[in-house]
Amino acid sequence: MVDNDTALMAHLMRRAGFGAPYEALQAWAAKGYEAAVEELLHPETQPDGIEMDVMERYFIEWRELLAGGTAYWTWRMMNSQRPLEEKIALFWHGILCTGHSKCENPRQQLVEFDMFRRLGLGSFRDILLEISRDPAMVFYLDNCMSHKDAINENYGRELLELFSMGVGMDGHPNYTEDDVKACASAFTGWTITNAVPRYPYGRYASHFIYNAADHDDSEKTFLGETGRFNGEDIIDIIVKQPATARFISRHLYNFFVADDVQVPAWQDTPPRDPEAIKMLEEAYFQSNYEIRAMLRVLFNADFFKQARFAKVKSPVESVVGTMRLVGDFTTPKPGLPAIVAEMRYMGQDLANPPTVEGWHTGKEWIDSGTLVERINFTADQVGNVNLPGIRAIIDRLGAEGSTLSAERLVQGCLEMLGHYELPEDTTSMLVAHVRKEGELRTGTEDFDQRVGQMLQLIVATQEYLFA
Amino acid sequence: MMTDNQKDNVLVVLQLSGGNDALNTIVPYTNPLYMDNRPAVRIDPKQVLPINDAIGFNPAMAPLQELWDEGNMAIIQGIGYPHPNRSHFRSMDIWHTCEPDKVGEEGWLGRALRDLDPKKENVLTGVNFGRGLPRALAAPGVPVASVGDLETYGVLTGIEGADQRSEALEMFSKMYAPLIGRNLVKEYISQTGSDALSGADILSTAPQKYTSTVTYGSDPVAQYMRNIAQVHLAELGTRILYTTAPYNSFDTHASELGTHIRLWGEVSNAVSCFFQDLKEHHASDNVVLFMFTEFGRRVHDNGSGTDHGSGGIAFVIGDAVQGGLYGEYPSLAADQLLEGDLHYNNDFRGTYATLLERWMGLDAKPIVGGSFEQLDFIS
């Protein structure tokens, strides 16, 4: 018997966060679905539960360990009590991309990721403005190399192509090469303080500055409007375009609802669910470009609730979701970088996307190499019956009686992993396997091991690759 | 497994990650400009193993010098590409995808594998050693096994007990049995799971069959070169084998001299052991090894190491290789430099094209994206 409230909550938490253990799902479900959505949408009303000062005091290596940025962010994703705050930061990181491969100072990206946490659910206009002033981005896309007399179009182009409008929609282009040039020239003078050379001085943070003397103040025509536009004016024009509403809606859909085709195909391929996209576009305009308002529509819509297991989990979702489930690394301890590295082995190097286009998603996460990494990592974790989250699953199932039927073991493990569903033939194969090994007596070491092994088999299924 | 007696040619690639310092690898030891530019980070000319009166090997490369003396090593000098990029990732990406101007998605060897095995008859046509697949080998729909540890490689390796694990694997093979009529994503995933499983099954036989008198070092490059030898000797039909020196290890911004010599000591020993091993098994004649890095380093040192530069050096080694110097050694004269770096004089895609056409028997043009002048290290 499927418990619909927790099953739906498991779905919501996988998408709006990184999944949650069964007890937490029940607590969320008790609040009611809409109330839970509201709480997720307002992370600022909850403590994040990340006490860095305490952790640094009791684990002095911690500061050094977190210096590179990815371990710190992974830690936050694993432990934050504001799941959507971290999830929306991950969403923007995959679109407004910078990579540490082109970053003078890895801590610089932390400033950007913090900005995503702070503004990620707010107005898209503010997000675009801040990313245009973000030192890591200014350096990553060479806007610091763009001068009044020698314009570098890198940022101006990507702002339109990959950050806001996309090259086209409904088969038509969204802007011209002249628009790119106008956009790039409007952002001249948006630069960063001179970075101190890394050798021999070490790494220093850079800051955004506006250099009026290096700004091209001439008249420009951009998307049909003419004026002596500066960067803010360009962003104001961008955010009111239908193409921008479409682009952000498709991104939200692809990230939170169901896998769609990849971005380069959007000009010519209609959305997977045009009605859903229309609802999100309307919310975009009605709310003055507010992401929170779009997500409120999204999470409460039937198209979302019906999209269970319609997405292949990203490596970050897989690793963080697994760690949240097993309840490891809730306090500082060595070994976190090895967990972070797993994401890279699975094909997602956090803070270092392959290109400014971000990561390709959906089935492109899976190849024969990454699949083995993903299954083995997850199976190793859930098979460790000493980890608190797995212990809790064993205890919960063990409390159901002195013995457990084979069917109930399989079903119970599926529920504990977040109400996963398997095809009938897989389920009966697993049940037959349990039966063959004899009766399940709870409270024995044998029981613990067999629960652990069932969890290992389930996380190896095709179905568990999806969220 | 190959059934015909004619052995197919095999390409082994060793990627030296981090940007190997070309000047301290093949050292212009009599050039005064080398002394001027490298006040702190230079190889003592007396230690250099001379190739001629202008250049010589880094002293750590003695084992490679033997291969050179046997006439089986091509040194490709001044290799690079237009508008060199000095970001590790981007430059490596350019070497991987052959796309210097835009960001490419497919790797050159991924495309080569697709041409070598268009019907995907062998899931082990390409094998990578190391965790995570280098983009060079990535192409949609092309299966490549990526092996972190050959001794333990497989699916669900964490399941304890031999019986338990073999039963788990049997279930796994049923869970991923390719089913017709499901949606495309599910079909793709089933196929990928089956490929991973059968690849692991076959690969696990390689270390079992292997015996050798050659003792490799314990460093990762040596161990992976040993794994490559094991897979090659197992005759699994593998045509492209790839491995990578540890992530960014050649990125010698600081304390270069000690590090660089240690790295080249490890690489040279590993490559030398690899060829000894193959020769011992009479299995070297159909193997060519290619070693490359994403860029060279700045001509002038920074007092302790060297920063990112351009104009690198690459090596091709094998029985079939016409040993010798290819390309030109880039000038160190200030007016010949490109933004303070060595100027490349031959495009890496020419070397790729040579390997693909003359060694692997493929049409290189669509793989490297155009026609590039080939070199004569393979006739």
What's the count of helices (H) and strands (E) in chain B, helices before strands?
A: 11, 12
Residue A337 contacts B where some CB pair is shorter than 8 Å: no
**Whole-angstrom Cα distance, residue B133 to residue B144?**
8
B30 interface with A at CB cutoff 8 Å: no
Q: Do B192 and A200 touch (CB under 8 A)?
A: no
- Report yes or no: A372 at the B interface, CB cutoff 8 Å: yes
pLDDT digits 0-9 by tens, B312-322: 999 999 999 99
How many Cβ atoms sit within 10 Å of the Cβ of residue A242? 14
The dihedral through the CA atoms of A389, A395, A398, A400 has a sign that is: negative
Contact criterion met (CB below 8 Å) for A326 and A162: no
Q: Which of A352, A366, A453 sits opposite B159 (nearest CB)?
A: A453
Rounded to the nearest angstrom, the minimum Cα separation between B158 and chain A is: 5
Contact between A199 and B303 using a beta-carbon 8 Å cutoff: yes
Q: Where are the alpha helices (DSSP H) in A202-333?
A: 231-239, 242-256, 274-286, 291-300, 302-305, 315-326
Angle between the A445-459 and A388-398 helix axes, to the nearest 10 degrees?
Answer: 110
CB contact under 8 A, B89 and A352: yes
* Residue A32, number of CB atoms within 10 A of its CB: 12
CB contact under 8 A, A368 and B138: no
Cα dihedral A66, A72, A74, A75 in deg (nearest 10): 100
Contact A161, A356 (CB under 8 A): no
Q: Give the closest-approach CA distance of A211 to chain B in angstroms.
A: 26
Helix (H) or strand (E) holding B276: helix B256-280
Sort out which chain A residues have CB atoms less than 8 A from B183's CB and list them: none
Q: Is A319:A18 a contact under the CB 8 Å cutoff?
A: no
Q: Three-state DSSP class for A225?
A: strand
CA distance B85 to B348: 14
**Does B304 lie at the interface with A, CB-CB under 8 angstroms?**
yes
The complex scores an ipTM of: 0.90
CB pairs under 8 A between A and B: 126
* B104 has a chain A CB within 8 A of its CB: no
Q: Write out the DSSP string of B143-171.
A: --EEES-TTT-SSSTT--SHHHHHHHHHH
Phi, psi (degrees; rounded to nearest 5) at B146? -120, 115
Helix (H, G, I), strand (E, B) or coil at A299: helix
Residue in the block written with tokens 């899931």: B123
The verdict on a CB contact (< 8 Å) between B192 and A368 is: yes
Structure tokens of B222?
Answer: 């040596």
Question: B302: distance to nearest CA of chain A, Å?
Answer: 8
- Percent of chain B's residues with pLDDT above 70: 97
Can you list the positions of beta strands (E) in A166-274? 168-169, 172-173, 190-192, 208-210, 220-222, 225-227
Contacts of A465 in chain B (CB under 8 A): 189
Q: Do A356 and B176 touch (CB under 8 A)?
A: no
Chain B interface disruption, residue of A359, A360, A372, most B CBs within 10 A: A372
Chain A contact probe: residue of B156, B184, B255, B302 with most A CBs at under 10 A: B156
Residues 393-452 of A with CB under 8 A from B: 425-426, 429-430, 433
Strand partners, B49: B57
Q: Please tell me the distance from the alpha carbon of residue A119 to that of residue A85, in angstroms, as a whole number.
A: 9
Predicted TM-score (pTM) above 0.90? no
Cα radius of gyration (chain A) = 24
CB A388 within 8 A of CB B212: no
Per-residue confidence in pLDDT tens, chain A, 467 aa: 356 799 999 999 999 999 999 999 999 999 999 999 999 999 999 999 888 787 777 776 776 666 667 888 999 999 999 999 999 999 999 999 998 877 777 788 999 999 999 999 999 999 999 999 999 999 999 899 899 999 999 999 999 999 999 999 999 999 999 999 999 999 999 999 975 666 666 667 889 999 999 999 999 999 999 999 999 999 999 999 999 999 999 999 999 999 999 998 899 999 999 999 999 999 999 999 999 999 999 999 999 999 999 999 999 999 999 999 999 999 878 888 899 999 999 999 999 887 788 998 999 899 888 999 999 999 999 999 999 999 999 999 999 999 999 999 999 999 999 999 999 999 999 999 999 999 999 999 999 999 999 999 999 999 999 99
Task: Please tell me the predicted confidence (pLDDT) of residue A105.
Answer: 76
Give the C-alpha separation, B14 to A458, whole Å.
37
For residue B347, give the 3-state DSSP assignment: strand
Strands B240-244 and B10-16, how do they pair? Answer: parallel
Q: How far apart are the first and last CA of chain B?
A: 28
- Which of A199, A368, A433, A434 should one mutate to test binding to chain B, selecting the residue with the greatest count of B CBs within 10 A? A368
Q: Using an 8 Å Cβ cutoff, are B306 and B21 in contact?
A: yes
Q: Which regions of chain B are under pLDDT 70?
A: 1-5, 103, 180-182
For residue A376, give the nearest of B138, B158, B303 by CB distance.
B158
State the Cα torsion A328-A333-A334-A336 to the nearest 10°: 40
Work out the minimum CA distance from A315 to partner chain B, whole angstroms.
12
If you count DSSP H runs as helices and E runs as strands, how many of each does chain A have, helices first? 25, 8
Six token digits for residue A252: 């939200």
Instruction: Give how far A241 is from chain B: nearest CA, Å.
Output: 27
Inter-chain residue contact A367 with B128, CB threshold 8 Å: no
**In the block, residue with structure tokens 């003792």:** B215
Give A-chain residues touching B304 at CB under 8 angstroms.
199-200
| Residue B11 Cα, gap to closest chain A Cα (Å) | 20
Do B213 and B221 form a contact (C-beta atoms < 8 A)? no
For B190, the closest of A344, A345, A462 (CB atoms) is A462
Q: Which residues of B touch A371 (CB under 8 A)?
A: 189, 192-193, 196
A258 interfaces chain B, CB cutoff of 8 Å: no
Classify residue A441 by burial, with Cβ atoms within 10 Å: 0-12, 13-18, 19+. middle
Separation of alpha carbons B152 and B162, rounded Å = 13
- Verify whether the Cβ–Cβ distance A102 to B90 is below 8 Å: yes
**Partner residue facing A462 (CB), from B175, B200, B302:** B175
Nearest CB neighbour to B131, from listed A102, A373, A430: A373
Q: Measure the CA angle with vertex B276, ends B274 and B279; round to 5°.
A: 110
Chain A nearest CA to B150, separation (Å): 13
Q: In angstroms, rounded to a whole number, what is the distance separating the alpha carbons of residues A222 and B76?
A: 49
CA distance B294 to B313: 10
Opening angle at CA A195, ends A191 and A198, nearest 5: 150
For position A242, what pLDDT does the model report?
A: 98
- Please tell me which of the candidates B88, B188, B253 has its beta carbon nearest to residue A101: B88
Which tokens go with A257?
């609802």
Taking CA atoms, what residue in B is nearest to A360?
B105
Which residue of B lies nearest to A352 if distances are taken between CA atoms? B89
In whole angstroms, what is the distance from residue B265 CA to residue B274 CA?
Answer: 14
In this predicted structure, what is the pLDDT of residue B1? Answer: 41
Q: Which chain B residues are within 8 Å of A141, Cβ to Cβ?
A: none
